[in-house]
Structure 1
Amino acid sequence: MLLNKYLTVLLAGILLGGCANNEIYYWGEYESIVRQSYVEPGVMNAQTQIERLNTDLQKAESSGKKIAPGIYAHLGTLYAAQGKYTQSRAALLQEKTLFPEASVLIDGMLSRVDKKQAN
């Protein structure tokens, strides 16, 4: 009987523990921003996206959470679209630092930013 109670409590603990939210990264509004840019292009301008992403970066930093992959790359793309090449380069390099597996992609993006800046 005692063993049954023990196993029931153990099973309940395992099941409830499996429901815990253990997100590795802080996503903030990033997913909704990307979704909206595909579903309703032009509704949210680049400056609004930049402001929201920077707010997300501040929230992640203050909560001690890791920022999700792609956020700095997206931010870099937005800065480049506004002609802010120094900020674009900094954001892209931050993405590359945090996610070295994206180096090939980021290097290509940096190359395009450098070409635009040179013109």
Structure 2
Amino acid sequence: MNISKNLKHSPKIIYFITAFFLLLALGGCAAKKSTFYWGEYENLLYGMYIEPGSADSTTQISTLLNDIQKAEAQDIPVAPGIHAHLGYMYALEGNVAQSKSEFMTEKTLFPESAILIDGMMNRLEGTK
């Protein structure tokens, strides 16, 4: 009977199918591309709140500008919040014009941030 022959080879088939799906799953994980470029942004935020003073505004500005350049070079959009954080750092430095520019960039890239950005812009206007 052919059924007994098929049963003899079934462990090989099961191993083959299992190996195939395992390789497929691993390949899918390795090929995942990030939606946004995060760079050092998360580390800056972490350091800012956990270790206050670990990165002054000048260092953060430099790091964020570098991250933005890397994102552009790789043609990956920057993560939400990067331009807003950069605007905040410029405000701390007293560079109001550049701060407004970064806030507007954040609002343009992420329209859902409009309420937050408008509030930040209003506070910035009040500091003049």
The answer to whether structure 1 residue 70 and structure 2 residue 81 are counterparts is yes
Query: 1:13: how far off?
Result: 3.6
Unaligned runs of 5+ in 2: 1-8
The answer to whether structure 1 residue 95 and structure 2 residue 96 are counterparts is no
Q: Runs in 1 of length 4+ with deviation above 4 angstroms?
A: 1-6
Query: 1:9: how far off?
Result: 5.2
Q: What SS class does the counterpart of residue 34 from structure 1 fall into?
A: helix
Number of equivalences: 117
- Give the match for residue 116 of structure 2: 105
Scaled by the length of structure 2, the TM-score of the pair is 0.82
- Give the match for residue 19 of structure 1: 29
Equivalent positions of 1:81-92 (< 5 A) are 81-92=92-103
After TM superposition, the structure 1 stretch with the greater mean CA deviation from structure 2, 28-37 or 8-17, is: 8-17
CA distance in structure 2 between the aligned counterparts of 1:6 and 1:97, rounded to whole angstroms = 51
Unaligned runs of 5+ in 1: none
Larger gyration radius, structure 1 or structure 2: 2
CA distance in structure 2 between the aligned counterparts of 1:102 and 1:64, rounded to whole angstroms = 22
- Give the match for residue 5 of structure 2: none
Query: 1:12: how far off?
Result: 2.6
Q: What SS class does the counterpart of residue 29 from structure 2 fall into?
A: coil
CA distance in structure 2 between the aligned counterparts of 1:40 and 1:6, rounded to whole angstroms = 52
Amino acid at match of 1:7: I
Query: 1:22: how far off?
Result: 2.0
